[in-house]
Amino acid sequence: GRITNINLTIIRDKSAGGKVTVALMSEKLGSIKAEASLKGDKLIGYIVCDHIESLKIIETQTEDLNSLAQEENISIKQLSFCLQQASTYSPQNSLDVDEDKTPETERILYRVAKAMIQMIRSAEETESAVA
């Protein structure tokens, strides 16, 4: 009933900007994809899940991501939670990133990914989590 396989991607090129994508399958929560983009001190992201009940549980587990934002002095401009009905979802207010990425940005993106994974792990541990 735990996460066993995580696909983590960090995109660093100029055209795509600083972005992290986490895709995983959970026996309890189903298929989940989380993506976040960072430009300067602004973070936007989304989490897509294929079960509405699981999505609602994940949505209540944002304290790790909020704590990270405070620690890193970044603001969460947008964080969307979506039911996976179409093959892809793109956030409405995407950040246009045209600056070089720094090691600091990459470090923050790894921490964002870790916080998103922790959100999903916390959601898995709730008693109502069943896909």
Question: Average pLDDT, stretch 5-15?
Answer: 80
**Chain-centre distance of CA 77, in angstroms?**
13
Read off the pLDDT of residues 81-108 as tens digits, 9 standing for 90 and up. Answer: 999 875 444 544 444 444 445 778 889 9
* Residue 9: exposure state from Cβ atoms within 10 A (0-12, 13-18, ≥19): exposed
**Total residue count of the chain as it appears in this document:** 131
Read off the pLDDT of residues 109-131 as tens digits, 9 standing for 90 and up. Answer: 999 999 999 999 899 888 776 65
Q: What is the pTM of this model?
A: 0.78
CA–CA separation, 53 and 31 (whole Å)? 12
Find the angle CA(81)-CA(12)-CA(59) to the nearest 5 degrees. 15
Q: Count CB neighbours of 111 within 10 A.
A: 18
